A and B are shown apart, each in its own frame.
Chain A
Amino acid sequence: MEQLKITLAVIIAVILQWTLRNVNDVFMYVDFPLIIIVYAALQRNTIKALLFGMVSGIAVDALSGGLLGANGFTKTLIAFAVSEIARRVYLDNLLLQIPVIAGACLLDGLMYFGLHRLFGQELSMPFLETTAYRLIGTTIAGTIIYLILGSFSVDSLKRSKRGSFSSRRQTRRRNPIRLGKR
Chain B
Amino acid sequence: MVERSQKEVWRLTPWLMIALLLGNFLLMAYDAKTTSQERVIRVWTQAVANFVQSPVTTVTSSVTNYFQSISSLRSAQTENDALKQRVQELEVEVQQKKELAKENESLKSLLELKNEAKYKILPAQIIGRDPSLWFDSAIINRGSLDGVKLNMPIVNNGGLIGRVIAVSPITAQINLVTKEKSGLGGVIGELGTSNALGVVSGNGKRELLEMGYIPGTIEVQVGEMVYTTGQDGIYPAGLKIGEVAEVRPGSATVTQQIFIKPSAKLYAMEEVAVLLYEPAAKPEFEKTLPNASKDEKKKK
Contacts and interface: CB of A to CB of B under 8 A. Distances in A.
Contacts of A60: 131-132
Given A65-B137, A83-B13, A124-B179, A71 B128 contact: no
Contact of B133 (A22, A58, A125): A125
A18 B27 CA distance: 21
B133 A134 contact: yes
B130 A70 contact: no
Interface string A55-73: 0011111111111111111
Contacts of B20: 50-51, 53-54, 72, 76
B10 A64 contact: no
A97 interface: no
Interface stretch (B52-60, B69-77, B94-102, B116-124): B52-60
A25 B60 CA distance: 13
Contacts of B180: 122, 124
A33 to B, nearest CB: 9
A23 B60 contact: yes
B269 to A, nearest CB: 11
Interface residues of A, number: 52
Contacts, number: 166
A174 to B, nearest CB: 42
Contact of B130 (A50, A63, A119): A63
A23 B298 CA distance: 57
Contact of A77 (B21, B23, B129, B204): B21
Contact of A69 (B31, B57, B130): B31
Interface in B20-78: 20-21, 23-32, 39, 41-42, 45-46, 49, 52-53, 56-57, 60
Given A18-B49, A54-B20, A67 B204 contact: no
A29 interface: yes
B181 A67 contact: no
A51 to B, nearest CB: 8
B162 to A, nearest CB: 11
Nearest to B134: A123
A163 interface: no
Nearest to B16: A50
B175 A70 contact: no
B213 interface: no
Given A63-B46, A122-B180, A69 B24 contact: yes
B9 interface: yes
Interface residues on B, range: 35 or more
A110 interface: no
Contacts of A67: 28, 31-32
Given A69-B25, A87-B10, A124-B178, A19 B32 contact: no
A134 B115 CA distance: 53
B42 to A, nearest CB: 5
A140 interface: no
A65 B130 contact: yes
Contact of B128 (A59, A63, A70, A115): A63
A62 B46 contact: yes
A158 B175 CA distance: 51
14 contacts: A21-B129, A22-B129, A25-B267, A28-B129, A54-B20, A63-B45, A63-B139, A64-B131, A64-B137, A65-B179, A69-B31, A77-B21, A124-B134, A124-B202
Given A50-B17, A54-B23, 15 more contacts: A19-B53, A21-B129, A21-B131, A25-B129, A29-B133, A58-B41, A63-B42, A63-B128, A64-B130, A67-B32, A70-B24, A76-B20, A124-B135, A124-B179, A130-B133
